Copies of this chain bind each other. A is one copy, B any other.
Amino acid sequence: MQRIEIYDTTLRDGAQGEGVNFSLDDKVLIARRLDEVGVDFIEGGYPLSNPKDAEFFQRIAAEPLANSQVCAFGMTRRRGMTPAEDPGMKSLMDSQAPVITIVGKTSAFHVEEVLRVSEQENIDMIAETIAYFVGEGRRVIYDAEHCFDGLKLNEEYGLKTLKAAADAGAMRIVMCDTNGGTMPEEIARYVNLVAGAVDKPVGIHTHNDCELAVANSLAGVDAGATHVQGTINGFGERCGNADLISVMANLALKKQGYEVLGGAQTDHLTELSRYVYEIANMGYRTSQPFVGASAFAHKGGMHVHAVNRVAHSYEHIPPESVGNERRVLVSELSGRSNILAMATKLNLQEDKELMDRILREVVELENQGYQFEAAEASFALLVQRIAGTFAPHFELVKYHASTESRGGSPLTEATVKLLVDDEVQHRVAEGDGPINALDGALRKALKGRFPALQQMQLVDYKVRVINSEAATAASVRVIIESRDADGETWGTVGVNENIIQASWDALVDSFEYKLAKESRAAGG
């Protein structure tokens, strides 16, 4: 078994992707999850480029990762100064990252036309920068930019730069196909050449401009690379980086003789992929290889018939091996098991007729745009409503939310009129926005009767437009995450053409879930 190192750059190269924008907290959450999964290296960012990345490294230094090594990214020192004088080097030292990833130029063309220094000066910049960090006790990974284009243009000079990096003490020499234009056979030829020419392990870093990033990563590994760089879900500039989800699945499950994640199971890959989409607030790609919702979906009667008899004959791997599931004709089979699981969790006896009604309802709601993966509380309430075991703690008479601006900062006010134990509660609140105001008014109307609500707070609020063709008239899915004093968190969902109504539905579910929990606690 050849162990292949996985180097994740979702937080740096991935953040370059159009529409990808991570907050500091987003970055820390993703790093912790990658650490759990057991990725070897996590590139946290480019501390010189912005304060957010610099702060990320302080957060990690304060609470180090358990399994992964965090890497700080930077460039070779500027021309005409020593590394110690370069502010970029200082920001990398300040990051306290145990591993420093230095990118340098391999292509004589870029050295002259872009960097505008002599070929020798470029080599000195690479060697001195790496030697500086090695001298400071850091481990250094060298990313060779435009490596394949450079070797094609001037093989002798390209190899010189790679050897200089290796001799200066870099622990890995990573060959980057920066423009993503290299064909698999060229990747294989040059990786093979370099693996024989330098005395350090070689890595491969590819981009998807020719829809070959995954194939190129595998070609690099077959040619001798033992280190693969990429991003979760293939996030990245232009057409993205190599999708580590597909790379890891192919190496661990499809090809022979390779091991990733220290042999850990790959059945976390679907969860990992979706977690990163959620943090980035991006929709899943249903057709995504291995982990997409459609990756193991079967269509067409004869097909399904055969699938049920000899599933593996229509699936290249068992869906469970990547934590995904088979879907046959809508969500019927998958839906059924979820519902059974949920119903059992709710101590509803297995009533086939009830299960069928729930299933029909779920399918109907999913068609409307509901998603219960991140809204189990709403799902639990739905099951109870259908089962007839749901007793609402309050009834809506009406709500009203209005926002007005005369040019300055807007004023928002919401009123809520409820029936609580046949008593009318009519309250008003202001807020930073209509949802915040409705939340405030709802709490005012309920806190007298249900003081426990004060222990609960909303911790996340996500909005996604579902069929965006219709623009502002499109239907909207709101997911609210709430947390209780005891640390329990739950998600609720609302879908409506009207964002206020969708938010209201998710709010009410969140309050009802908390109140039902109190009743149970009270033995009610």
List B contacts of A397 (CB < 8 A).
406-407
List B contacts of A306 (CB < 8 A).
110, 113-114
B238/A295 in contact, CB under 8 A: yes
Most chain B CB within a 10 A radius of its CB, from A297, A374, A471, A496: A471
Indicate which residue in B239, B255, B403 contacts A292 across the interface (CB closer than 8 Å). Answer: B239
A14-35, CB < 8 A from B: 16-19, 21, 23, 25
Cβ proximity bits A380-398 to B, threshold 8 Å, 1 near / 0 not: 0000000000000000111
A501/B410 in contact, CB under 8 A: yes
B183/A254 in contact, CB under 8 A: yes
B500/A16 in contact, CB under 8 A: no
List B contacts of A281 (CB < 8 A).
464-465, 469
Residue A455, interface by CB 8 Å? no
Stretch among A92-100, A345-353, A428-436, A446-454 lining the B interface? A428-436
List B contacts of A287 (CB < 8 A).
17-18, 208, 234, 238-240
Cβ proximity bits A474-504 to B, threshold 8 Å, 1 near / 0 not: 1010001000000000000000111111011
List B contacts of A197 (CB < 8 A).
none
The residue of chain B having its C-beta at the shortest distance from the C-beta of A289 within the complex is: B211
A166-208, CB < 8 A from B: 178-181, 183-185, 208
Indicate which residue in B50, B405, B412, B499 contacts A435 across the interface (CB closer than 8 Å). Answer: B499
Q: Cα distance A467–B255 when bound, in Å? A: 39
Given the known interface contacts A238-B296, A499-B499, the answer about A439 and B406 at a Cβ–Cβ threshold of 8 Å is: no
Chain B nearest CB, measured from A108 CB (Å): 11
Q: Cα distance A431–B501 when bound, in Å? A: 13
Stretch among A54-62, A122-130, A212-220 lining the B interface? A212-220
List B contacts of A496 (CB < 8 A).
410
A471/B498 in contact, CB under 8 A: no
Indicate which residue in B183, B239, B290 contacts A289 across the interface (CB closer than 8 Å). Answer: B239
Chain B nearest CB, measured from A258 CB (Å): 12
A218/B184 in contact, CB under 8 A: yes
B473/A316 in contact, CB under 8 A: no
Residue A462, interface by CB 8 Å? yes
Residue A270, interface by CB 8 Å? no
The residue of chain B having its C-beta at the shortest distance from the C-beta of A177 within the complex is: B316
A181/B296 in contact, CB under 8 A: no
B50/A473 in contact, CB under 8 A: no
Residue A357, interface by CB 8 Å? no
Residue A373, interface by CB 8 Å? yes
Residue A156, interface by CB 8 Å? no
List B contacts of A264 (CB < 8 A).
none
Residue A420, interface by CB 8 Å? no
Residue A339, interface by CB 8 Å? no
Indicate which residue in B286, B439, B472 contacts A472 across the interface (CB closer than 8 Å). Answer: B439
A500/B374 in contact, CB under 8 A: no
Cβ proximity bits A219-251 to B, threshold 8 Å, 1 near / 0 not: 100100000000000100111100100100110
List B contacts of A422 (CB < 8 A).
none
Q: Cα distance A229–B157 when bound, in Å? A: 41
A504/B21 in contact, CB under 8 A: no
B184/A184 in contact, CB under 8 A: yes
Residue A315, interface by CB 8 Å? yes
A297/B464 in contact, CB under 8 A: no
A294-337, CB < 8 A from B: 294-300, 306, 309-310, 313-317, 329, 331-333
Residue A209, interface by CB 8 Å? yes
Given the known interface contacts A287-B17, A402-B400, the answer about A113 and B309 at a Cβ–Cβ threshold of 8 Å is: yes
Q: Cα distance A185–B146 when bound, in Å? A: 26
List B contacts of A219 (CB < 8 A).
184
List B contacts of A396 (CB < 8 A).
405-407
List B contacts of A212 (CB < 8 A).
214-215, 218, 250
Q: Cα distance A299–B425 when bound, in Å? A: 54
Residue A463, interface by CB 8 Å? yes
List B contacts of A297 (CB < 8 A).
18, 237-238
| Top-5 shortest CB links A-B | A181-B316, A215-B215, A402-B402, A458-B471, A403-B500
21 A-B contact pairs sorted by A residue (CB < 8 Å): A18-B299, A18-B374, A25-B469, A114-B306, A181-B254, A211-B214, A211-B289, A211-B290, A212-B218, A234-B287, A237-B297, A237-B300, A238-B297, A281-B469, A402-B403, A405-B501, A433-B472, A462-B465, A463-B463, A472-B480, A499-B499
11 more CB-based (< 8 A) A-B contacts, given A23-B468, A237-B298, A403-B498 = A16-B331, A19-B286, A110-B313, A210-B249, A237-B299, A238-B287, A281-B469, A402-B402, A409-B501, A410-B496, A457-B471
